[in-house]
Amino acid sequence: MSKNITLALGFAQIFKWIVIALFILMAAFMFTSLLAPDFISDYMLEIVKGGGPYNIFKCEDCLDTGMTVHLNSLSTGMLLWIFLMMSLRIGLLYLISLETIQVLKNVRNLNTFYEGNIGSFRKMAVLGLIMAVLGSFSFLSYFNADQNQVFERLNFSPSLGAIGFSLACFVLAEVFKEGKVLQEDKESIL
| pLDDT per residue as tens digits for the range 160-180 | 889 999 999 999 999 999 999
What is the domain range of residue 63? 2-189
* pLDDT per position as a tens digit, 41-65: 777 777 665 555 566 666 666 655 5
How many Cβ atoms from other residues are within 10 Å of residue 95's Cβ? 17
Counted domains in the chain: 1
With pLDDT > 90 as the criterion, what percentage of the chain qualifies?
Answer: 39
- What letter would DSSP give residue 47? P
Q: Using only the alpha carbons of the chain, give its radius of gyration.
A: 22
